[in-house]
Structure 1
Amino acid sequence: MNEEFIEKWQSQVKKGTLSFIVLLVLKETELYGYELIEKIKLLTHIEIAEGTLYPLMNRLKNENLLESKWVEQETGIPRKYYFLTETGQKTLGEMKIQWTGLQKTLNKLI
């Protein structure tokens, strides 16, 4: 087995699906960055660095898939919460369709 190849492939799979994962996690509720990182880790066991997440969030905002808002806290600094836009909801629906088709195809091959 080529472990180096597997590690690179695994990294590319994670990068390629991270946008989908973020949208799936945010479909039900709004979360702030650290909360999102922790929820993704809990649900998927994927570790995401802040340096990876925040540029992704900005790209998703630029694509009009996400919005954000600052929320004051009783103590401490305000937190930036992220949530799906209507376009984000519709895009996620299409992504689910595409993912399901890909999954069926791969399952046939496997």
Structure 2
Amino acid sequence: MEPGKTMSQLRKGVLEYCVLSLLRDGPRYGTELVATLADTGALAMSQGTVYPLLSRLRREELVTTDWSESPSGPPRRYYALTDTGRAALADFASVWAQFTDAVGRLITPDLISDRSKQ
């Protein structure tokens, strides 16, 4: 698999939970979420990816939405985490620690071995 595809697949698997975690401390509007994800580098996503995800999260009742006036333009739709969303995020966080530990144990020996050959 080429490196670009690998990163794309990893992003798809965790994007939902990254968005939920960005909402953990309070409501945010969509463009703000896109910008924050872009600031991470590895999680940069287009609005065409994030907005459909937000719609799905709303349908699944993991987030709610509310329109609020903006000091610098038209009203904005803010997304907020629901109790169900908080529970899903907590579940993911506990699984994520186990998952990354297991993957790390499997791939680290190869990485160390490859570096020693150089």
TM-score in same-fold range (> 0.5): yes
Q: When the two structures are superposed, what TM-score results if normalisation uses the length of structure 1?
A: 0.89
Q: When the two structures are superposed, what TM-score results if normalisation uses the length of structure 2?
A: 0.83
Provide Cα deviations, 1:69-103, integer angstroms capped at 9, x if missing partner: 00023452100000100000011000001111101
Where does the alignment leave 5 or more consecutive residues of structure 2 unmatched? Answer: 109-118
Q: What residue number does 1:107 align with?
A: 104
Task: Say yes or no: does 1:79 pair with 2:91.
Answer: no
Aligned AA (1:71):
S
Kindly report the root-mean-square deviation, in angstroms, between the aligned alpha carbons of the 2 structures.
1.3
Identical columns (%): 35
Aligned AA (1:86):
D
Where does the alignment leave 5 or more consecutive residues of structure 1 unmatched? Answer: none
Length, aligned pairs only: 106
Larger CA Rg, structure 1 vs 2: 2
Q: What residue number does 2:111 align with?
A: none
Aligned AA (2:31):
Y
Distance 1:6 1:60, change over 3 A: same
